[in-house]
Structure 1
Amino acid sequence: MTTPTKYDAIIIGSGQGGTPLARALAEAKYKTALIEREHIGGCCVNDGCTPTKTMIASGRVAYLTRRGVRARKRDIVREFRTGNEKRLKEAGVDVLMGEASFVDGKTMVVVDGEGRERVVRGEKIIINTGCRPAGAVLDGVEKIAKERVLDSTSIMELGCVPGHLVVVGGGYIGVEFGQLFRRLGAKVTVVHRGRQLLPREDGELVDMLCGISREDGIEVLLETTPVRVSGVLDGGFDVSVSTRQGEGVVKGATHILFATGRVPNTERLNAAAAGVTLDNRGYVVTDEFLRTSVSSIYAIGDVKGPPSFTHISYDDFRVLRSSLLESKGSSSRLSITDRIVPYVVYTDPQFGHVGLHEHEARKKYPNKKILTAQMPMSYVARALETDESHGAMKAVVDGETGSILGFSCLGAEGGELMSVVQTAMIGNLPYQKLQDAVFAHPTFAESLNNLWGFLK
């Protein structure tokens, strides 16, 4: 083995936590290396939020006026990626392109695309390798042309709109892409084995979203499991499914999207050589300060397990920056304990959520008086003015203190409305402060004056 290049810190993966952390460490005079096997910026910039939300935004415009989608997505991704690369270099980070694996707790070997090896040694190592789409598992799927078997990454590189897209999985990825490609002109069938789309979300709001999807012309098959692919021809294939009523067939599919989850990128890390503990699904186990089972090795982002959101990865960066650069062992350093988790599903209308759902609040606080308030978006003046009155909003409240425990909104600008409520939750404001606030008129936010009148 060649003599290793020594670093104060090595970061494996350049996602939304790893990239700013590398800059922060380098700017603090740590000799820092960032190892990335594919693209600077990680999943969010290259395969996740940036390209998907760019396409979804273009898809909405295409739904109205028809315009190009894939080219715009590529331009935005290229802009974000090159910006990240430039800032890393300006900060003095050594960017090593290749696949990294542990030799021991402080030593790694990096193999580039041409098979050349480089050995590096770090006093601190941060694992930020993220996740990837789960593979396509279905009897007979190998008979379909590879370009017709899609995941959340490859679907964005299609050169044409599918004739009939079958989406396996009704989670966040499935519903976003299902609606997008329906609006681009594809026939879409969503096959979901659960009783409702978006299984974690409030059932009443999800039922509304399911209705909106069906209004768009999407066939939604619930409590349905794909069994096999059959009747494969040059132009298409059938998908046999199992339902509560028995066997059925989705006929005439041209493409199939597997949106059934993601798996951590840890199998090539050789984590055991470093003594890093993985759980039974392959995620890196960390404590509240993001330390692994090895005190000098940390993990941030999706590779440490759910919740798997870009903004959580970025908050992981802040937590680890606090530990490594700011607090110097202080008991006041940041941790991931009890952080408020928001997210948005970019359907149209959006589905925004923060905090606890009703069923989660009742389970977590069995002795509290839990109240809920639900109001349809058709009661929101701004929604009526813009002719976007589908959906509803729902809040979960501690009936004794007025504390807001959670909030969901299926509606126009649902993510922005959620963020207003999240701000109140961060400030520990009771719902009465929003009920009595003076919001500008006409805005979506002023609906937060009226929502609380539905508490029960």
Structure 2
Amino acid sequence: MAVATLSCDALIIGSGQAGNPLATALARAGRKVVLVEKNLLGGSCINYGCSPVKAMLASAERVQQVATAAEYGVQASAPRPDLRAIVARKDAIIQQLRDGVRRNLTREQAGITVLHGHAAFTGQHTVRVTLEGGQEQLVTAPLIFINTGTRAAVPDVPGLAESGFLTNVEILDLKELPEHLLILGGGYLGLEFGQMFRRFGSRVTLVEHADRLLEHEDSDVCAAMQAQLAADGVELVLEAEVRRVSRNKAGQYTLTASTPDGERRLHGTHLLVATGRTPNTDDLGLDAAGIETDERGYVLVNERLQTNVRGVYALGDVHPGPQFTHLAYDDYRVVRDALLHGKRRSAKARPLPYVVFTEPQLGRIGLSEQQARHQKIPYHVASMPVRVVGRALQTGYTTGFMKVLVDERRRILGAAIFSEQGGELMSMIQLAMAGRLTCEQLQDTVFAHPTWAEALNNLFAKLVKAR
């Protein structure tokens, strides 16, 4: 039986934070667009990334507020988190977002055809789509955009695959609170889930192979984060090489790990693997199109997000580099501007802001101290504990510190804000960096009193030359 062929102006593989707005923009410009998605519309951010995790973190924050209410002169009974209700709230939020994506792609914008199925290249500009019902459809297009994202990377640990485990996808749908959650990985996912479930009432042990959490951050940032998690009651096992994972008939996990203090056996009822990501490219038939990847399977691109095959692009987490929703969305803007507005902008010359949504938040932009030293950039640094900020004293959020780096022209090189509203404060500094404001201009700005922003009046007064 012959396979039907569908021709279009642009084919987008993957309904993520770059692919969806690109489909809309191209369709509005009069292009005929086909978008293929084999899982859920909306990609990882909406379905099992930023949005659901942050929704559940909001519940953990409410738990903490109730638990500490007496410190504010408010008498309240001990909080009793209901994980089923927490997950149901999360699901309602996510369904609303999914419905919005579906409306936008299928009803609100003409010119977009959505195919639910698995896409694989059969040539440089031809893709075979195996639809959900089993039928096949060939799609040809002069422009193809790969936006298939990533999935959890699974370390090669003996016994792990046989024992079973949770990833960031499955843990979001638990209906019963883990008695003891073991977490492999000390990156931002492990930290957010670790603090969240500890505040829900689980015992949490976080296992990391490096000698500190967030190993790419400066040592003072790592130390502050570790101190906060320890204060929350999260057990940290650092410099740990997990040698084996096993699970008994009762469902109890045992992790055997080598540590500087000798071999340890860690026991838990649930196991979350948060050791990084791997690209969803292994089943795309990239070889048939001659599309080049790196040794890990990420699609190689130039600064305009073009692959080595003319007319084929890779967007979002599927190409090498930092993996954040806001960068994926900016990938869309880079391609949109080039194709529709005749503007060229490099995807490799842009700021990298990010936030770790623990409490306090860690907001990061620009260079860290170790990066500045590695690049041999002279700098001044200012650091200030949060406890001296008026707003911190009033609200009780006194944990953390703020740090900024300034160059010899008094312009900001970077900042690490470990504080309540750390992400928002970091974004203010990012705007100042974009506007090339000097530290004196920020220091002398009239900020409303009493706000968190007021801290910038005092922070830059503490600048000293880095040793």
Please indicate, yes or no, whether the TM-score normalized by the shorter chain is above 0.5. yes
In 1, the alpha carbon distance for the partners of 2:154 and 2:132 equals 23
Structure 1: give runs of 5+ residues left out of the alignment. Answer: none
- Where do 1:57-456 residues align within 5 Å? 57-63=58-64, 64=66, 65=79, 66=81, 68-89=85-106, 90-92=108-110, 93-135=112-154, 137-144=156-163, 146=164, 149-230=165-246, 232-251=248-267, 253-327=268-342, 332-364=343-375, 366=376, 368-398=377-407, 400-456=408-464
- Greater mean deviation of Cα atoms: 164-173 or 198-207: 198-207
Q: Deviations over 1:191-236 (max 9, x none)?
A: 1110110111121022111111111111001111222124624141
Is the 8 Å Cα contact of residues 4 and 136 (structure 2) preserved in structure 1? no
Distance (whole Å) between structure 2 residues aligned to residue 137 and residue 114 of structure 1: 35
Letter in 1 for 2:406: V
Aligned residue identity for 1:70: V
2:294 and 2:300 in contact (8 A); partners too: yes
Query: Residue by residue, what CA displacement relative to the aligned partner does 1:388-411 show, whole Å, maximum 9, x if unpaired?
Result: 11010111111x201111111111
Greater shift, 154-163 or 228-237, is seen at 228-237
Structure 2 contact 181–269 (Cα < 8 Å) conserved: yes
Letter in structure 1 aligned against 2:166: L
State the TM-score, normalizing by the size of structure 2: 0.93
- Matched residue type, 2:12: I
Query: Matched residues in 2 for 1:372 and 1:233: separation?
Result: 55
Kept in 1, the 8 Å contact 2:353–2:364? The answer is yes
SS at match of 1:91: coil
Contact in 2 for aligned 1:286/1:304 (Cα 8 Å): yes
The amino acid that maps onto 1:371 is H
Aligned to 1:43: 44
Q: For residues 165-203 of structure 1, what are the alpha-carbon distances to aligned partners after superposition, in whole Å with 9 as ceiling and x for unaligned?
A: 000110111011000000111000001110110111121
Equivalent pair of 1:21/1:317 in contact (CA under 8 Å): yes
CA distance in 1, matches of 2:441, 2:289: 51
- RMSD over aligned Cα atoms: 1.3
Give secondary structure in 2 for the equivalent of 1:23: helix
Distance 1:20 1:207, change over 3 A: same
Q: Which amino acid aligns with 2:136?
A: E
TM-score under structure 1 length normalisation? 0.95
Helix, strand or coil: the match of 1:76?
helix
Structure 1 residue 88: deviation in Å? 1.1
Identity %, equivalent residues: 44
How many residues are aligned here? 445
State the shift of 1:5 in Å: 0.6
The amino acid that maps onto 1:415 is G
Name the aligned partner's letter for residue 141 of structure 2: G
| CA positional deviation for 1:335 | 2.1
Matched, 1:19 2:24: no
